[in-house]
Amino acid sequence: MCIKPMRHSTKAFLFEADLWKCSVLLLLRYAHAGNHRPMQIRSAVAAPKPGVHIRPMRIFSTALVLFLCLGVGGLSAAERVAVFDFEMIDANSDTASLGSRPEEAQRLKAAAARLREALVRSGKFEMADLTPVEPSARAFNLSACNGCDGALARKVDAVISITGSVQKVQDVPRAMAVFVRDVETGKLLASKSVDIREDTDDAWKGAVDELAATCVLPLNLEDN
């Protein structure tokens, strides 16, 4: 398992959805009965108005809306994640930067953006807005600051922080890594590195996709 289990059990969401489905079934049952005779609304407080009935088709439509809007909505379990811009680690000087050249900086930002898109597309995550902490994030080497990314992620109400880096040797990018941290505990949940086979846009995209597919996305939604 690469990521800590979600804080909210999937079973709870499924149970909530089942309750809504039961309500839908009850409404449909009344609608079916209405095909034989109109169902009159009776009030325990006021006398019923003559001729007031509920049409079966209207009940069916209401039930369908409840099922789609409420029953399915109860299954949402997206976690808010802070995915920071990737950094370039120079193995020769052991320094980090957001790119020493314009094309390098552009690829680093594109790598983080691609990872964010993959996480959102999965439906399991929602992205935190990093605008309030961007100046601070740029001032740190997030890949080697001993968890300072977690403190920044907490400020934007994220529960998981993800940082990434690209290591270059002799000015050639060789590997890409991601680091996944639990914001609440500060614990490093997972880290993984993959090779960058060549210094091209496609190779960088492939590295991001591999990290997303093999480390971040294989979630266990059940609590231990």
What is the pLDDT, as a whole number, of residue 59?
Answer: 52
Beta bridge partners of 179: 163, 191
| pLDDT per residue as tens digits for the range 11-28 | 344 344 454 454 544 445
pLDDT greater than 90 at residue 108: yes
- Rounded distance, CA 29 to CA 27, Å? 5
- Please tell me the number of Cα atoms within 13 Å of 192 on its side-chain side: 17
What are 49's two structure tokens?
């108005």
**What's the pLDDT at 93?**
64
Model confidence over 59-82: pLDDT tens digits?
555 544 444 444 444 444 689 999
Distance CA 36, CA 176 (A): 67
Counting every residue written for the chain, the total comes to 224
Per cent of the chain over pLDDT 70 is: 59
Give 180-194 pLDDT, tens digit per residue.
Answer: 999 999 988 889 999
Q: What average pLDDT does this structure show over 41-68?
A: 50
By DSSP bridging, strand 160-169 and strand 172-182 are: antiparallel
Q: Which domains does the chain have, with CATH numbers?
A: 10-75 (no CATH), 79-216 (3.40.50.10070)
The DSSP code for 147 is S
